[in-house]
Each structure stands twice: as C-alpha cells, then as structure tokens.
C-alpha cells in the first residue's frame, strides 16, 4: 500500500507520520485531521501512487496540489530546520 510506504519513508527522514486506515470517506478523514490540528495532510490515491506524488493539504483547508514525494520531503525538512511553522 502506497500510504504505508510513504509514512515509513517520512518517518525514516525524521518526520512524524500516521496513516488513517479507517473506512471513513476522504472528506471525513480530512475534517478529522483538521480538528486534531494536524498541520499537513498527504493524500495518496491511486493516481498519486502511480505517479510517485502526493496531494498536500494544510489544516487551514488550503490545497497545495500535488507534488513529488521527494520535493515534499525536502520542503518539509527545510521548514523544520528553519523552525518556521507558518507555511510549507
């Protein structure tokens, strides 16, 4: 499963990552993550998995669109290094 591989890949890079394996609809999963104040949600559907990309959403409901997994990882680690939690 692409989501499990992705979460392991992110954890190996030092990021916290969880997979929501519930049977809820995608909108319900996103809403639950927003309520939990999870800053970044990576959506991995069939289309994203086949192209090695992720769809990135912020807890503010802003959709950053799709990006390469490695590009997201570089941006996230740079953000952490700068200690700036305002934007991706």
Two tokens, residue 69: 């997994």
Q: What pLDDT does residue 1 have?
A: 63
Per-residue model confidence as pLDDT tens digits over 15-67? 999 999 999 999 999 999 999 999 899 999 888 888 889 999 998 889 999 99
Predicted confidence (pLDDT) at residue 10 exceeds the cutoff of 70: yes
Residues 49-53: contacts with CB within 8 Å, 24+ apart? 49/2
Angle, CA of 69, 53 and 29, to the nearest 5° = 95
Q: What is the pTM of this model?
A: 0.81
């Amino acid at each position: 499963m692409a989501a499990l591989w992705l979460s392991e890949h992110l954890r190996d890079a030092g990021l916290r990552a969880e997979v929501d394996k519930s049977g809820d609809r995608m909108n319900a999963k996103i809403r639950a993550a927003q309520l939990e104040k999870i800053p970044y949600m990576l959506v991995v559907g069939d289309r994203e998995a086949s192209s090695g990309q992720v769809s990135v959403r912020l807890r503010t409901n802003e959709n950053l669109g799709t990006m390469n997994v490695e590009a997201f990882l570089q941006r996230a680690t740079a953000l952490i290094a700068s200690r700036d939690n305002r934007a991706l």
